[in-house]
Structure 1
Amino acid sequence: MRFLAVLFFAALLSACSSAPSQLNSADKTPSLSNTPETKNQLIQMHREWKGVPYRLGGMGKGGIDCSGFVLLTLQSRFGVQLPRTTAQQKEMGKSVSKSQLRAGDLVFFKTGWSTRHVGIYIGDSQFLHASTSQGVMISSLNNSYWKQKYWLSRRL
Protein backbone atom coordinates (compact mmCIF):
# COMPACT_ATOMS: atom_id res chain seq x y z
CA MET A 1 0.00 0.00 0.00
CA ARG A 2 2.82 2.40 0.88
CA PHE A 3 4.44 1.64 -2.48
CA LEU A 4 1.25 2.70 -4.27
CA ALA A 5 1.11 5.90 -2.23
CA VAL A 6 4.71 6.70 -3.21
CA LEU A 7 3.93 6.05 -6.88
CA PHE A 8 0.83 8.23 -6.69
CA PHE A 9 2.76 11.06 -5.05
CA ALA A 10 5.57 10.79 -7.62
CA ALA A 11 3.01 11.11 -10.41
CA LEU A 12 1.41 14.04 -8.61
CA LEU A 13 4.75 15.78 -8.22
CA SER A 14 5.68 15.35 -11.84
CA ALA A 15 2.29 16.66 -12.90
CA CYS A 16 2.65 19.71 -10.67
CA SER A 17 6.16 20.49 -11.79
CA SER A 18 5.24 20.35 -15.46
CA ALA A 19 1.90 22.14 -15.15
CA PRO A 20 1.57 25.60 -16.71
CA SER A 21 1.75 28.55 -14.36
CA GLN A 22 -1.72 29.76 -15.33
CA LEU A 23 -5.09 28.22 -14.53
CA ASN A 24 -5.67 24.71 -15.79
CA SER A 25 -8.55 25.02 -18.26
CA ALA A 26 -9.95 21.61 -17.31
CA ASP A 27 -10.47 22.24 -13.58
CA LYS A 28 -9.68 25.95 -13.06
CA THR A 29 -7.17 25.02 -10.36
CA PRO A 30 -3.97 27.10 -10.35
CA SER A 31 -0.75 25.15 -10.33
CA LEU A 32 1.49 25.32 -7.27
CA SER A 33 4.38 27.28 -8.75
CA ASN A 34 6.21 30.50 -8.10
CA THR A 35 3.75 32.83 -9.81
CA PRO A 36 1.73 35.84 -8.72
CA GLU A 37 -1.34 33.57 -8.92
CA THR A 38 0.12 31.25 -6.26
CA LYS A 39 0.56 34.17 -3.87
CA ASN A 40 -2.89 35.53 -4.77
CA GLN A 41 -4.53 32.20 -3.95
CA LEU A 42 -2.74 32.07 -0.59
CA ILE A 43 -3.77 35.65 0.23
CA GLN A 44 -7.37 34.81 -0.71
CA MET A 45 -7.26 31.78 1.61
CA HIS A 46 -6.04 34.08 4.37
CA ARG A 47 -8.93 36.49 3.76
CA GLU A 48 -11.44 33.65 4.01
CA TRP A 49 -9.90 32.00 7.09
CA LYS A 50 -8.29 34.89 9.00
CA GLY A 51 -8.79 34.50 12.73
CA VAL A 52 -10.31 31.01 12.62
CA PRO A 53 -9.14 29.63 15.97
CA TYR A 54 -6.56 26.91 16.39
CA ARG A 55 -7.96 23.56 17.46
CA LEU A 56 -5.80 20.43 17.59
CA GLY A 57 -7.22 17.95 15.09
CA GLY A 58 -9.63 20.57 13.71
CA MET A 59 -10.44 20.75 10.02
CA GLY A 60 -13.10 23.45 9.74
CA LYS A 61 -13.97 27.07 10.44
CA GLY A 62 -14.88 26.16 14.01
CA GLY A 63 -11.19 25.39 14.58
CA ILE A 64 -8.24 24.07 12.62
CA ASP A 65 -4.68 23.02 13.37
CA CYS A 66 -1.58 23.93 11.40
CA SER A 67 -1.20 20.73 9.35
CA GLY A 68 -4.94 20.60 8.69
CA PHE A 69 -4.86 24.17 7.41
CA VAL A 70 -1.90 23.42 5.12
CA LEU A 71 -3.61 20.26 3.83
CA LEU A 72 -6.92 22.08 3.22
CA THR A 73 -5.25 25.09 1.57
CA LEU A 74 -3.15 23.07 -0.87
CA GLN A 75 -6.02 20.73 -1.67
CA SER A 76 -8.69 23.41 -2.20
CA ARG A 77 -6.53 26.02 -3.94
CA PHE A 78 -4.08 23.88 -5.93
CA GLY A 79 -5.46 20.33 -6.04
CA VAL A 80 -2.39 19.04 -4.18
CA GLN A 81 -2.95 16.09 -1.84
CA LEU A 82 -0.92 15.95 1.37
CA PRO A 83 -0.88 13.64 4.38
CA ARG A 84 -2.62 14.88 7.53
CA THR A 85 0.18 15.39 10.05
CA THR A 86 3.15 17.76 10.22
CA ALA A 87 5.48 14.77 10.67
CA GLN A 88 4.20 13.25 7.42
CA GLN A 89 4.11 16.57 5.54
CA LYS A 90 7.79 17.25 6.28
CA GLU A 91 8.66 14.13 4.25
CA MET A 92 6.95 15.39 1.09
CA GLY A 93 8.62 17.14 -1.83
CA LYS A 94 12.24 18.18 -1.72
CA SER A 95 14.31 20.18 0.70
CA VAL A 96 14.82 23.87 -0.08
CA SER A 97 17.01 26.37 1.75
CA LYS A 98 15.45 29.30 3.55
CA SER A 99 17.20 31.70 1.17
CA GLN A 100 15.59 29.99 -1.85
CA LEU A 101 11.97 29.97 -0.63
CA ARG A 102 9.19 30.57 -3.16
CA ALA A 103 5.45 31.09 -2.73
CA GLY A 104 3.84 27.74 -1.98
CA ASP A 105 6.82 26.16 -0.20
CA LEU A 106 6.13 24.59 3.18
CA VAL A 107 8.01 26.00 6.17
CA PHE A 108 8.48 23.96 9.34
CA PHE A 109 9.34 24.99 12.88
CA LYS A 110 10.40 23.24 16.07
CA THR A 111 8.19 24.96 18.63
CA GLY A 112 8.90 22.65 21.54
CA TRP A 113 10.88 19.61 22.54
CA SER A 114 8.72 17.35 20.36
CA THR A 115 6.25 19.85 18.91
CA ARG A 116 6.37 20.85 15.26
CA HIS A 117 4.54 23.56 13.31
CA VAL A 118 3.96 24.06 9.56
CA GLY A 119 2.91 26.96 7.35
CA ILE A 120 2.97 27.97 3.68
CA TYR A 121 5.46 30.55 2.46
CA ILE A 122 3.81 33.41 0.53
CA GLY A 123 6.83 35.59 -0.27
CA ASP A 124 8.59 38.60 1.23
CA SER A 125 9.63 36.55 4.30
CA GLN A 126 5.97 35.92 5.20
CA PHE A 127 4.05 32.69 5.70
CA LEU A 128 0.43 31.68 6.17
CA HIS A 129 -0.44 29.35 9.03
CA ALA A 130 -2.82 28.42 11.84
CA SER A 131 -1.18 29.77 14.99
CA THR A 132 -2.06 28.36 18.40
CA SER A 133 -2.43 31.86 19.87
CA GLN A 134 -4.14 33.85 17.10
CA GLY A 135 -5.61 31.29 14.73
CA VAL A 136 -5.16 31.60 10.97
CA MET A 137 -2.80 34.46 10.23
CA ILE A 138 0.22 35.67 8.29
CA SER A 139 3.52 35.89 10.16
CA SER A 140 7.05 36.94 9.30
CA LEU A 141 9.99 34.56 9.24
CA ASN A 142 11.96 37.54 10.56
CA ASN A 143 9.84 37.73 13.72
CA SER A 144 12.16 36.91 16.64
CA TYR A 145 10.03 33.92 17.71
CA TRP A 146 9.73 32.31 14.26
CA LYS A 147 13.33 33.11 13.34
CA GLN A 148 14.52 31.19 16.40
CA LYS A 149 12.13 28.25 15.79
CA TYR A 150 12.68 27.83 12.02
CA TRP A 151 13.64 24.24 11.17
CA LEU A 152 13.36 23.35 7.48
CA SER A 153 11.47 23.99 4.23
CA ARG A 154 10.08 21.70 1.53
CA ARG A 155 9.04 22.36 -2.06
CA LEU A 156 6.22 20.24 -3.45
Structure 2
Amino acid sequence: MHRSLKYMAAIGATSLLLAGCASRGPVAKVPASYSSPSISETYRDPVLERALTLTGTPYRYGGSTPDGMDCSGFVSYVFNESAGFRFPHNTAMIAKLSKPISRSDLKAGDFVFFNTFKPYSHMGIYIGNNEFVHAPSSRNNGKVRVDSLDSRYFAERFEDARTAFQ
Protein backbone atom coordinates (compact mmCIF):
# COMPACT_ATOMS: atom_id res chain seq x y z
CA MET A 1 0.00 0.00 0.00
CA HIS A 2 2.81 2.44 0.88
CA ARG A 3 4.48 1.83 -2.51
CA SER A 4 1.18 2.62 -4.30
CA LEU A 5 0.92 5.99 -2.60
CA LYS A 6 4.49 6.90 -3.63
CA TYR A 7 3.71 5.85 -7.21
CA MET A 8 0.50 7.92 -7.31
CA ALA A 9 2.28 10.92 -5.78
CA ALA A 10 5.01 10.67 -8.42
CA ILE A 11 2.43 10.53 -11.23
CA GLY A 12 0.59 13.52 -9.75
CA ALA A 13 3.79 15.57 -9.45
CA THR A 14 4.81 14.70 -13.01
CA SER A 15 1.38 15.72 -14.30
CA LEU A 16 1.63 19.09 -12.57
CA LEU A 17 5.08 19.69 -14.02
CA LEU A 18 3.93 18.84 -17.52
CA ALA A 19 0.86 21.05 -17.20
CA GLY A 20 3.12 23.92 -16.09
CA CYS A 21 5.36 23.42 -19.13
CA ALA A 22 2.35 23.62 -21.42
CA SER A 23 1.56 27.20 -20.46
CA ARG A 24 2.34 29.56 -23.34
CA GLY A 25 2.10 33.02 -21.88
CA PRO A 26 4.31 34.87 -19.44
CA VAL A 27 3.65 34.11 -15.80
CA ALA A 28 3.76 37.43 -14.00
CA LYS A 29 1.58 39.34 -11.62
CA VAL A 30 1.45 42.93 -12.84
CA PRO A 31 0.71 45.62 -10.23
CA ALA A 32 -2.50 47.56 -10.88
CA SER A 33 -0.45 50.75 -11.23
CA TYR A 34 0.65 49.56 -14.71
CA SER A 35 -1.65 49.51 -17.71
CA SER A 36 -1.48 47.69 -21.02
CA PRO A 37 0.09 49.92 -23.64
CA SER A 38 -1.61 51.14 -26.78
CA ILE A 39 1.13 53.36 -28.13
CA SER A 40 0.67 55.18 -31.42
CA GLU A 41 2.60 53.81 -34.42
CA THR A 42 4.16 57.27 -34.78
CA TYR A 43 6.45 56.42 -31.84
CA ARG A 44 8.16 53.49 -33.59
CA ASP A 45 10.95 55.65 -35.07
CA PRO A 46 11.63 57.59 -31.85
CA VAL A 47 11.78 54.30 -29.90
CA LEU A 48 14.23 52.85 -32.40
CA GLU A 49 16.39 55.98 -32.48
CA ARG A 50 16.57 56.21 -28.68
CA ALA A 51 17.35 52.50 -28.33
CA LEU A 52 20.21 52.70 -30.81
CA THR A 53 21.74 55.79 -29.14
CA LEU A 54 22.26 53.63 -26.04
CA THR A 55 24.52 51.14 -27.85
CA GLY A 56 27.65 50.69 -25.73
CA THR A 57 25.91 51.49 -22.42
CA PRO A 58 27.30 49.15 -19.75
CA TYR A 59 25.22 46.33 -18.30
CA ARG A 60 24.18 46.71 -14.68
CA TYR A 61 21.77 44.33 -13.00
CA GLY A 62 18.74 46.34 -11.88
CA GLY A 63 19.95 49.41 -13.77
CA SER A 64 17.67 51.59 -15.85
CA THR A 65 19.74 54.65 -16.73
CA PRO A 66 22.45 55.43 -19.27
CA ASP A 67 24.98 54.81 -16.46
CA GLY A 68 24.07 51.11 -16.64
CA MET A 69 21.03 48.97 -17.40
CA ASP A 70 19.74 45.43 -17.67
CA CYS A 71 17.40 44.26 -20.44
CA SER A 72 14.07 45.27 -18.89
CA GLY A 73 15.57 48.49 -17.52
CA PHE A 74 16.75 49.27 -21.06
CA VAL A 75 13.28 48.71 -22.54
CA SER A 76 11.56 50.63 -19.76
CA TYR A 77 13.96 53.56 -20.13
CA VAL A 78 13.66 53.68 -23.94
CA PHE A 79 9.85 53.67 -23.93
CA ASN A 80 9.60 56.21 -21.12
CA GLU A 81 12.05 58.59 -22.83
CA SER A 82 10.75 58.27 -26.40
CA ALA A 83 7.04 57.47 -26.06
CA GLY A 84 6.19 58.62 -22.53
CA PHE A 85 5.04 55.14 -21.49
CA ARG A 86 6.34 53.61 -18.26
CA PHE A 87 6.80 49.84 -18.26
CA PRO A 88 7.64 47.88 -15.11
CA HIS A 89 11.28 46.89 -14.66
CA ASN A 90 10.50 43.20 -15.18
CA THR A 91 10.69 41.22 -18.43
CA ALA A 92 7.81 38.84 -17.72
CA MET A 93 5.56 41.75 -16.67
CA ILE A 94 6.39 43.65 -19.87
CA ALA A 95 5.50 40.51 -21.83
CA LYS A 96 2.22 40.16 -19.98
CA LEU A 97 1.27 43.81 -20.64
CA SER A 98 2.14 43.72 -24.34
CA LYS A 99 0.21 42.10 -27.18
CA PRO A 100 1.44 38.84 -28.78
CA ILE A 101 2.27 38.94 -32.50
CA SER A 102 3.78 36.40 -34.84
CA ARG A 103 7.50 36.55 -35.49
CA SER A 104 6.77 37.21 -39.16
CA ASP A 105 4.80 40.35 -38.17
CA LEU A 106 7.65 41.95 -36.21
CA LYS A 107 8.21 45.64 -36.96
CA ALA A 108 10.85 48.02 -35.66
CA GLY A 109 10.11 48.85 -32.02
CA ASP A 110 8.39 45.55 -31.18
CA PHE A 111 9.67 43.24 -28.45
CA VAL A 112 11.49 39.95 -28.76
CA PHE A 113 11.65 37.61 -25.75
CA PHE A 114 14.02 34.79 -24.94
CA ASN A 115 14.27 31.91 -22.52
CA THR A 116 17.89 32.24 -21.39
CA PHE A 117 17.40 30.44 -18.06
CA LYS A 118 13.63 30.56 -17.55
CA PRO A 119 10.64 31.68 -19.64
CA TYR A 120 10.69 35.40 -20.47
CA SER A 121 14.08 35.92 -18.81
CA HIS A 122 15.56 38.20 -21.50
CA MET A 123 14.23 40.69 -24.02
CA GLY A 124 15.20 43.26 -26.61
CA ILE A 125 13.73 45.72 -29.10
CA TYR A 126 13.43 44.58 -32.70
CA ILE A 127 15.10 46.93 -35.20
CA GLY A 128 14.38 45.12 -38.49
CA ASN A 129 16.29 42.76 -40.76
CA ASN A 130 16.12 40.00 -38.09
CA GLU A 131 18.14 42.16 -35.67
CA PHE A 132 17.39 43.51 -32.22
CA VAL A 133 19.04 45.80 -29.70
CA HIS A 134 19.33 44.66 -26.08
CA ALA A 135 21.33 44.82 -22.84
CA PRO A 136 22.99 41.41 -22.41
CA SER A 137 24.42 40.45 -19.03
CA SER A 138 27.98 41.24 -18.06
CA ARG A 139 29.08 37.65 -18.68
CA ASN A 140 27.98 38.13 -22.32
CA ASN A 141 30.11 41.19 -23.16
CA GLY A 142 27.76 43.31 -21.07
CA LYS A 143 26.99 46.37 -23.13
CA VAL A 144 23.87 47.42 -25.01
CA ARG A 145 24.38 46.04 -28.50
CA VAL A 146 22.71 44.76 -31.67
CA ASP A 147 22.44 41.01 -32.26
CA SER A 148 20.76 38.78 -34.81
CA LEU A 149 17.71 36.63 -34.14
CA ASP A 150 19.40 34.15 -36.48
CA SER A 151 22.50 33.76 -34.29
CA ARG A 152 22.65 30.25 -32.89
CA TYR A 153 22.37 31.41 -29.27
CA PHE A 154 19.26 33.56 -29.75
CA ALA A 155 17.61 31.34 -32.38
CA GLU A 156 17.66 28.44 -29.90
CA ARG A 157 16.23 30.58 -27.09
CA PHE A 158 13.65 32.68 -28.96
CA GLU A 159 10.38 32.57 -27.05
CA ASP A 160 7.93 35.18 -28.25
CA ALA A 161 7.29 38.38 -30.20
CA ARG A 162 5.04 41.10 -28.77
CA THR A 163 4.13 44.70 -29.40
CA ALA A 164 3.18 47.77 -27.39
CA PHE A 165 1.86 49.58 -30.45
CA GLN A 166 -1.77 49.96 -31.56
TM-score (norm 1): 0.74
Shift of 1:114: 6.0
Are positions 1:119 and 2:124 aligned together? Answer: yes
Q: Secondary structure at the match of 1:152?
A: strand
Tell me, yes or no, if the aligned pair for 2:92 and 2:120 is still in contact at 8 Å.
Answer: no
Shift of 1:62: 2.8
Are positions 1:101 and 2:106 aligned together? Answer: yes
Q: Secondary structure at the match of 1:120?
A: strand
Are positions 1:150 and 2:158 aligned together? Answer: yes
**Unpaired runs of at least 5, structure 1:** 22-30
Are positions 1:139 and 2:144 aligned together? Answer: no
Between the aligned residues of both structures, percent identity stands at: 33
Please state which structure has a larger fraction of its residues in strand. Answer: 1
Q: Which residue of 2 aligns with 1:90?
A: 95
Q: Secondary structure at the match of 1:118?
A: strand
- Aligned pair count? 132
Alignment of 1:1-156 (within 5 A): 5=33, 9-10=35-36, 12-13=37-38, 16=39, 19=40, 21=42, 31-32=43-44, 37-38=45-46, 41-47=47-53, 49-113=54-118, 116-132=121-137, 133-134=140-141, 135-156=143-164
TM-score (norm 2): 0.70
Tell me, yes or no, if the aligned pair for 1:92 and 1:154 is still in contact at 8 Å.
Answer: no
Q: Which residue of 1 aligns with 2:24?
A: none
Distance, in Å, in 1 between the alignment partners of 2:158 and 2:83 is 25
